[in-house]
Amino acid sequence: MRIFLILVVIFLQCTSIALAGKSFSGNVEKIDLNIRSHEMAISFFRLSDGEATLIQGPNNQNILVNVGGGQSKREMDRWLSLYDVKKVTMLILTGAHALHLEQVNHLVNRYHIKEIASSQQITKQIAENLDVGNQIVIKSWKEETKTELFPELSAVVQYVGSEKNEGLDFTLQFFKHHLFLMSSFSQHAKEKLLTKNLGEIKVFKVPANANEDLLSEKLVKHVDSQISILTAGGNHHPNPELISDLLKTWSEVYFTKTHGTVTIKFTKSHYEVFTILEDGSDYKNFGLRECFRII
């Protein structure tokens, strides 16, 4: 009964969002987010394997977080083409689950990536196994590392772990907007993150494959996000107990497998959310829908 009620709540929530927004009909060949000065966008891709997030700023600044799975090369190229990405400034890898060497090498060469950041363990593997040459700057991020990704957008590493269900967890700050991209859900990571002052989180990227027992209702309440993004491919489905915990905090929950790629565009004072769902398995036709706007 509890699972049924959770599913009903999710359905009603998604329906209300769709009715509140503006619908766009027809196929979409390119997405122009028209990112101007003092604006940024973040897109959580819908992939059949693995996960990847695109961060975009003005002047064609593109940062990629993870590279999808070993079977999603074609999908990644299609999504990046759809967002008119020709060059990626920086690649961030959040853990061993994201280290698909062949895919990393492909993206480095195709999109002229000049900088890779990850944990010390991952950057060592990249240096030893990737054919990236001396033109690539490889940086090891540690806990509390703070980096300016581009003007007005900074990243702060909140936790770095190398054990099972651990990786690189970091927050982004763009003016008053705080985003939390989390990949760890071990007991130690959970305890450590509960001690962190994360700020008022607007967007929470939930760790892939996390369940309620490992993530915990207490940590979900601590993050207390306005929007929660669940990204996972394959046959994985979100944990109902985890979704229940997120909904209790009044967070808008998106699952990329169901809702499609989720793009959130930020200005200094507000943000807009869009979902993009591909039509068919050939990834040629896309439908674009604006979900809602928050001032």
pLDDT in tens, 203-253: 999 987 777 777 889 999 999 999 999 987 666 777 888 899 999 999 999
pLDDT at 254 over 70: yes
Q: Distance between CA 34 and CA 56 in Å, rounded? A: 10
* Full strand arrangement of the beta sheet holding 201-206: 146-150, 153-160, 168-174, 177-181, 201-206, 227-230, 252-255
DSSP 280: S
Closest CA to 46 of 272, 274, 246: 274
Neighbours of 30 (CB within 10 A): 9
* pLDDT given for residue 213 in this prediction: 75
Give me the chain's average pLDDT, please: 83
* Contact indicator for 157, 168 with CB cutoff of 8 Å: yes
**Interval 140-150 mean pLDDT:** 95
98/27: higher pLDDT:
98
Task: Report domain extents, the chain.
Answer: 39-266
* 3-state secondary structure string across 88-147: CCEEECCCHHHCCHHHHHHHHHHCCCCEEEECHHHHHHHHHHCCCCCCCEEEECCCCCEE
Closest CA to 218 of 202, 194, 237: 194
* pLDDT given for residue 21 in this prediction: 32
pLDDT at 4 over 70: no
* pLDDT given for residue 277 in this prediction: 80
pLDDT at 14 over 80: no
The two structure tokens encoding residue 45? 């891709």
* pLDDT given for residue 9 in this prediction: 41
**Interval 101-119 mean pLDDT:** 92
DSSP 42: E
* pLDDT given for residue 133 in this prediction: 59
Per-residue pLDDT reduced to its tens digit, 77-91: 999 999 999 999 999
**Interval 31-57 mean pLDDT:** 94
* pLDDT given for residue 16 in this prediction: 32
Half-sphere exposure (Cβ direction) of 183: Cα atoms closer than 13 Å? 27
Q: Distance between CA 37 and CA 151 in Å, rounded? A: 9
* pLDDT given for residue 28 in this prediction: 63
Lowest mean pLDDT among 90-104, 124-138, 161-175: 124-138
* pLDDT given for residue 222 in this prediction: 95
**Interval 54-71 mean pLDDT:** 93
* Cβ-count burial 96-135 (b if 16+ within 10 Å, e if not): ebbbbeebbbebbeebebeebbbbebbbeebeeebebeee
pLDDT band at 201 (very low <50, low <70, confident <90, very high): very high
* Residue percentage of the chain with pLDDT more than 70: 82
Neighbours of 12 (CB within 10 A): 10
- Which CATH number fits the domain 39-266, given the four candidates 3.40.50.970, 3.90.1150.10, 3.60.21.10, 3.60.15.10? 3.60.15.10
* pLDDT given for residue 288 in this prediction: 53
User: Which amino acid type is present at position 38?
Assistant: H
pLDDT at 163 over 60: yes
Closest CA to 180 of 215, 211, 140: 215
Classified as helix, coil or strand, 239 is: coil
